[in-house]
Amino acid sequence: MKILKTILLTMVIFFTACFNTKDTTVKEKQTFTISMVSHGQASDPFWSTVKNGAEAAAENLGINLIYQAPTNFDMVTMAQMIDAVTATAPHGLIVSVPDIAALKKSIGNAIDKNIPVIAINSGQEIGKELDILTYIGQSEYEAGMIAAEGLLKYNINKAVCINHEVGNISLDHREEGFKYILNQNGIDVTTIPIDATDPSETKELVRSYLSTNPDTDALLTLGPLGALPMLKLMKEINQDGRIKMATFDFTPEIIEGILREEIVFALDQQQYLQGYLPVVFLYLYLTNQNTPAFSQLQTGPSFITKENAQKILELSKRGTR
C-alpha cells in the first residue's frame, strides 16, 4: 500500500502542475477559454506554425488556449475529441475540417450548445451547412489563379504543372485555377503526375518531357515534394534561366533556390494567420459581439521572392512562417 500512496501523491503533484486548473481559481476577472482541435499530426511542421500563431494571440489577449489533435489522421477520434471539448463548454471553438461528413455532427452539436465556431485551413464548404462564425484559410482554386498571374509577368508561352499527390483535392484545385487563367491567356498547360516517393524518377521523367517539348518555359510545382527534385533538374538544364519555375509552399531549400534566382517565387499560405486570427475573431465576438461578414478569409497566398526571401527564412526559423 505504501507504493500505492507514493504513486498517488506523485501523480497528484505532477498533474496539478501540468493541467489547467483554471475553472476553480481566479473568478473575479473573466478569462476566456478557447479550444482548438486540428487534424495536424505531430510530425507536420505546418501545424506547429499554426499552433504557435494561436498561442501568441492567446497570450496577447489573456486567453486560455487549449490545443488538441489526434495523433494520427483519424476522423473518428477527432470527432470524439470535439465532443469531449464541447462538454467542457469552452467560450469558443476553432476546428479544421478535412472531412466534413465525419465532423459535421460533432461541430453542429457544439453550435447547438451556443459555442461560437471558426473553421480553419480545410473544409470551407462547411459554412454552407452549419452556422459557423467564419472560415479562415486559403482558397486553393484562387491560389492557383494567383500563381498563374505571377508567372504571366514573365511572358511565358507554354507551361508544365507537377502534381505530387494525385487525388488530393486541394492540389487538384490549385492545378485547375492555374490552368484556367493560363488557358484564358492562350497558354498551353500540361500536367505531369509524379511519384513523390521517388525524386530521381521524377527528375528523369520531367527531363525527358522537357527535351521533347523544348518550347516549355514555365514550370509550377504544387508543393515542396515536387519542387525539390525540380530544383535539382533546373540546376542541370536551366543555367540560362529560360524556364521560369514557381512553387506552392516552401522549405529552407526553396528559399535558397529563390535567393540564387533558380525559382522566381514561392506562394506561402501563411498558416500562422490560421492560428492567430481565429483567436482574435473569437475574442472580439465574445467581448464585442463582432460578427465578421465575410464567409471566408484568405490567409494566402503571399509571394516569396528574392526581395523578401531572406527575411522569411529568418522568420520561419522562429516558427512563425
Partner 1 sequence: MTYLKKIITRPESGALAGLVFVWIFFSIFGHSAFLSLAGTKSYLQVSSEIGILAIGVTLLMISGEFDLSIGSMIGFSSMAMTLLTVQAHFSMTSAALLTLLIVIFFGFLNGLIVVRTGLPSFIITLGSLFIIRGITIGFSKFLTGRTQLGGLETANGYNIMSFIFNNNIQVGGVAFPVSILWWIILGIIAFTILNKTQMGNWIFATGASKETAELMGVPIEKVKISLFIVTAFCAWFIAMTQTTTYGGADVLRGEQKEFTAIIATVIGGTLLTGGYGSIIGTMIGALIFGMVRQGIIFAGADADWFQVFMGIMLIIAVVINGIFRKKYVTG
Which residue ranges make up the site for partner 1 (CB under 8 A)?
Answer: 1, 3-4, 7, 11, 14-16, 18-23, 42, 66-69, 71-76, 79-81, 83-89, 99-105, 166-167, 169
Shortest Å, Cβ 167 to partner 1: 5
Cβ(73)–Cβ(62) below 8 Å = no
Spell out the residues 6+ positions from residue 146 whose beta carbon is closer than 8 angstroms to its own: 177, 267, 301
Phi first, then psi: give them for residue 94, nearest 5 degrees: -120, 125
Beta carbon nearer to partner 1, 61 or 102: 102
Beta carbon nearer to partner 1, 257 or 275: 275
Beta carbon nearer to partner 1, 169 or 237: 169
Pick from 269, 264, 169, 281: which is nearest to 218 by CA?
264
Q: In whole angstroms, what is the distance from residue 194 CA to residue 173 CA?
A: 17
Shortest Å, Cβ 195 to partner 1: 13
Shortest Å, Cβ 137 to partner 1: 18
Shortest Å, Cβ 50 to partner 1: 12
Beta carbon nearer to partner 1, 110 or 181: 110
Beta strands in the chain (DSSP E): 33-37, 64-68, 92-96, 117-120, 134-137, 158-163, 188-193, 218-221, 244-248, 265-268, 296-298, 302-304
Shortest Å, Cβ 35 to partner 1: 8
Shortest Å, Cβ 277 to partner 1: 20
Measure the CA dihedral 273/276/278/282, to 10°: -150
Beta carbon nearer to partner 1, 24 or 212: 24
Residue with cell 477559454: 33
Beta carbon nearer to partner 1, 102 or 284: 102
